[in-house]
Amino acid sequence: MSYPEVDFLYLNEEDMMKAGVDDVVSCTDCMEELLKLLDKGDYRMGGENGNSHGCMVSFPDKPDFPNMPANGPDRRFMAMPAYVGGPFDVAGMKWYGSNVANRDKGIPRSILMVMLNDKETGAPLALMSGNMISSYRTAGIPGVGVKNLAVKDAKVLGIVGPGVINTVTVETFGALRPTLDTLKIKGRSQESIDRCIEYVKEKCPQFKNIIVCDTLEDCVKGSDILSFATSTAMNGGVSSYPFVKTEWIKPGALICVPGSANFDEALIQDPKTKLVVDNISLYEAWAEEYPYPTFETIYIPGCKFMDMVHDGKLSKSKIDDLGAILNGKKPGRTDDDQIIIYSIGGMPVEDVAWGKTVYDKAIKEDIGTKLNLWDTPRLF
């Protein structure tokens, strides 16, 4: 960047596609590098603890002001800042607006933007359409788990919640495990099920068998890999989360949970069950920010792990960071019958890392629109 003139790159969704935002293998490789950095500590997120998921604006059920939005499912605004070191070495933020009612307007529930900034000056480097970044990095983080923790000959993938995230997840998992040939789907909406099946048939011809399941039990049974991407209203409580009975789970299954799911405490406590999280510090931050029991509010299973640690029911040493496994500090899968529960909280460092990777390609290939902030700042 040439100072004092400041230009930045604007990338719309079409630009992001040209720059490879949908490359599931590259995204998974990027997330693998990121998880190693998280284990080393070369990152910062919001808050004094440096691990806050973000700052969220929510709304009252009955606002006192006529123009203020009322509370509703997934209705919020959220700022999610981060710095990522290593080969990324950039600051940035995902700005997150969400409302389930958007679907009635023919637009996504969440509308996202990602900003990248120079780490020294704070000057903007890029403003990017963020929905594709968020979707693919959300699939890439469990993708790293599949790449490193799933049984090698996995054939059956079960997904619970066939929305955008799990649809991209099927594509990601399929690319990482070519042995997968059967897809089981449990969903609430026929429309979302049909959209998922159409996408899979186009993008993932390796899935010769696609089975729509009537019950959660049917989906879980026999699956070598499972992905839960079900959303639940904040403060919906544990009773609203899908509950997975231990006897349904196939020995050796890898259960990836970027959404809501609940499991028997006995399964979590079992020495043969492996508990993995994307970043234990995120769950510690959630435990600080939300009153105990955190799992009542934040539906990610890692919060249940931390609640059990709080209650003395689980040793924190039983919970492994995937980054520590990747860096060789902790063992991965120890045998083909080991059940692994992999909790995925999602973090802005992921958006910044994948956003920076896509931005670098856009710069190299002259993709996007250069915008001028100023030639010379008026106030200096």
- Enumerate the domain spans of the chain: 6-133+349-374, 139-347
What's the CA gap between 228 and 188, in Å, rounded? 13
Q: What is the pLDDT, as a whole number, of residue 233?
A: 59
Q: CA–CA distance from 168 to each of 68, 136, 174, 181, 290 (Å)?
A: 34, 7, 10, 16, 30
**pLDDT by 10s per residue, the chain, length 380:** 778 999 999 999 999 999 999 999 999 999 999 999 999 999 999 999 999 999 999 899 999 999 999 998 888 899 999 999 999 999 999 999 999 889 889 999 899 999 999 999 999 999 999 999 999 999 999 999 999 999 999 999 999 999 999 999 999 999 999 999 999 999 999 999 999 999 999 999 999 999 999 999 999 999 999 999 987 755 568 999 999 999 999 999 999 999 999 999 999 999 999 999 999 999 999 999 888 999 999 999 999 999 999 999 999 999 999 999 999 999 999 999 999 999 999 999 999 999 999 999 999 999 999 999 999 999 88
Cα-based angle 18, 34, 196 (whole degrees, multiple of 5) = 50
Strands, DSSP E only, in 280-329? 319-321
Q: Are 6-133+349-374 and 139-347 the same fold in CATH?
A: no
Rounded to two decimals, the pTM is 0.94
What's the CA gap between 10 and 319, in Å, rounded? 40
Q: DSSP string of 75-109? A: -EEEEEEEEE-TTT-EEEEEEEEE-GGGGGGTS-S
Contact 34, 42 (CB under 8 A): no
For domain 139-347, say whether CATH 1.10.10.10 is its number.
no
What's the CA gap between 87 and 94, in Å, rounded? 20
What's the CA gap between 229 and 179, in Å, rounded? 22
Q: What is the pLDDT, as a whole number, of residue 25?
A: 97
Instruction: Return all residues near 20 (Cβ < 8 A) that are at least 6 apart.
Output: 26, 358, 361
What's the CA gap between 37 and 356, in Å, rounded? 15
Contact 170, 58 (CB under 8 A): no
Q: Which residues pair with 114 in a beta bridge?
A: 94, 128
| CATH T-level fold of 6-133+349-374 | ornithine cyclodeaminase, domain 1 (3.30.1780)
